[in-house]
Chains A and B, each alone.
Chain A
Amino acid sequence: MTLFLSYLINGISLGSVYAIIALGYTMVYGIAKMLNFAHGDVIMIGAYVSFCAMQYMGLPAILSVVLAMAVCTVLGIVIEGLAYKPLRQAPSLAVLITAIGVSYFLQNLALLIWGSTPKSFSSVVSVGSITLLEGQLVISGETIVTILANILIMIALTQFTSRTKFGKAMRAVSEDKGAAELMGINVNATISMTFAIGSALAAIAGVLLCSAYPTLQPTTGSMPGIKAFTAAVFGGIGSIPGAMIGGVLLGVIEILGKAYVSTELGDALVFAVLILVLLVKPTGLLGKPMREKV
């Protein structure tokens, strides 16, 4: 039983990382109607920046995270401005390929700068682990912080989108770009801000991911990126609570699958569940069915 709980909690923690990444995917999709393939690699860049800050600049963990967030935010805005904004009117497949190009670019840039040797990431979490149930259940500090971070981010984001002016602008632009513009909303700024938020979240996710799984390579962001993207679709692309639920569920399924079914088939199981859910609910768990006008 305690073993199951341990797996479950690890699953929720991993899922929380996926959820934070998935939020970035889903917000950008909602507002720009594009799948930002490069998102997974922004995570990797965030982790590397934090690593360098701690390793080479001797900054304390908290500051390194802030620096990573700052760098990623700028990176996100720059990418959006240079590569995606010029393609606003282009067919979605063209934007997807461009995003893939950006993804390749970031991976190879990291390869050039930091090399392919995996770096050992020192955790940014200084919270100690909790021991429960007479020493049988150990919850690492990283797990606690990750889950808490996820909850805090979810609350903050929900408040932001429903209460603040910018948040409402984001929702308006997601709904109808043209109408939002006519209402005086600065669409460009809103889209850039969405990318900024998503990228900042990606930095957090990268740091938390590498704190729990300390190997860092240029390809580190790739698989979690794909899984988080899957989670976003699973939960209903464009839905913020959907990204949350999708991410956490996916993490739990992955860990439990690897533990109880087969380690090798763990990934396959995750994807199999996704397929099953989409067959039953074709627009994802919390997705809205689209009615086409005839």
Chain B
Amino acid sequence: MTEAKKKRAATKMVPAPSHGIIPERDLYERPVLEARNLGIDFGGLHAVEDFNLVIGKTEIAGLIGPNGAGKTTVFNLLTKVYQPTMGTILLNGRDTAGMNTAQANKLGIARTFQNIRLFGNMSVEDNVRIGLHNQVRYGMIPGIFRMPGYWRGEREMHERALDLLSIFDMQDLANHQAGSLPYGAQRRLEIVRALATNPSLLLLDEPAAGMNPHETEELMENITKIRDQFHIAILLIEHDMSLVMGICEGICVLNYGKIIAKGTAEEIQNNPVVIEAYLGKRKEN
């Protein structure tokens, strides 16, 4: 078993003060996310309904379900790309009602995208610098007139960007054009960029898409390493079950916009409702 899988296997999940389960080590910290009765109604179509989830402060959680189940919609709701038509989202205890995406990010939630959304024409380092935008700040005037704030800021951004890129050993690619990177590297860059925004909760949308088993193993190690190094929680959408069952401590299963099961990897794997959702009903003889 790899390190990542060992860590996951060692985690004990306990009931959270609010509905749900979280890792035992997070029991005395406030959960990073509490979604209560979250839902959105697109003119009659309930794309997501009655979504209840608690994520512990340093939990690696998974969101799975068949295609079209509403997983990315949940991400869009959490990051306020869509405004929920029902329910609440508490991020580190703060209600995000009425916030827009940028405000939610400043509050501590960052994400990657299903279809990669890098700034393709910018360099790898500049993409990370955008992530650092709110972490290292100087104004427009110091920037234009090259005042000391500019030089300090640029230097700090440069150092922190290279530091972040070193998680995936990408420092040497700093000056490459982001759009020219191979697919896997682009996905990793997106993760680094999101991390740069200093989130408490990192949402990864199909981070292993298009990766071979070796890359996926590496990704599992890296995600666990990120969690350990940065002490953040991670929620990922994934179809690759080896990754999900390998590192996710709590798993939430979605189908037709509703949660059909929640629990640990072992519980989910043996849940007949989940199996039916993925494979269909067992044929009666």
Give A contacts to B, CB under 8 Å: 294
Contact = CB atoms under 8 A, between A and B. Distances in A.
B76 interface: yes
B256 interface: no
4 contacts: A294-B72, A294-B76, A294-B81, A294-B113
Nearest to B111: A294
Contacts, number: 4
Interface in B29-76: 72, 76
A294 B113 CA distance: 8
Interface string B71-103: 010001000010000000000000000000000
Contacts of A294: 72, 76, 81, 113
A294 B72 CA distance: 8
Contacts of B72: 294
Contacts of B81: 294
Contacts of B76: 294
A-B CB proximity, top 4 nearest: A294-B81, A294-B76, A294-B113, A294-B72
Nearest to A293: B115
B44 to A, nearest CB: 15
Interface residues of B, number: 4
Nearest to B117: A294
A241 to B, nearest CB: 22
Contacts of B113: 294
A45 B3 CA distance: 77
A292 to B, nearest CB: 9
A287 B277 CA distance: 40
B116 to A, nearest CB: 13
Interface in B131-162: none
A52 B157 CA distance: 69
A181 B76 CA distance: 34
A167 B121 CA distance: 41
A294 B76 CA distance: 8
A293 to B, nearest CB: 8
A19 B72 CA distance: 43
Nearest to A291: B42
A294 B75 CA distance: 10
B129 to A, nearest CB: 23
A294 B81 CA distance: 8
Nearest to A292: B81
A67 B113 CA distance: 57
Nearest to B42: A291
B84 to A, nearest CB: 15
A124 to B, nearest CB: 49
Nearest to B76: A294
Nearest to B101: A294
A294 B116 CA distance: 10
A205 B161 CA distance: 60
A172 to B, nearest CB: 24
B76 to A, nearest CB: 5
B224 to A, nearest CB: 27
A291 to B, nearest CB: 9
B266 to A, nearest CB: 33
B80 to A, nearest CB: 11
A276 B72 CA distance: 36
A294 B117 CA distance: 9
A288 to B, nearest CB: 13
A193 to B, nearest CB: 35
A23 B113 CA distance: 40
A12 B113 CA distance: 50
B243 to A, nearest CB: 23
B113 to A, nearest CB: 7
Nearest to B81: A294
A294 B203 CA distance: 14
A294 B112 CA distance: 11
Interface string B243-273: 0000000000000000000000000000000
A186 to B, nearest CB: 32
Nearest to B82: A294
A115 B161 CA distance: 64
A294 B115 CA distance: 8
A290 B81 CA distance: 14
Interface string B108-129: 0000010000000000000000
A105 B72 CA distance: 50
B70 to A, nearest CB: 13
B47 to A, nearest CB: 12
Interface string B209-248: 0000000000000000000000000000000000000000
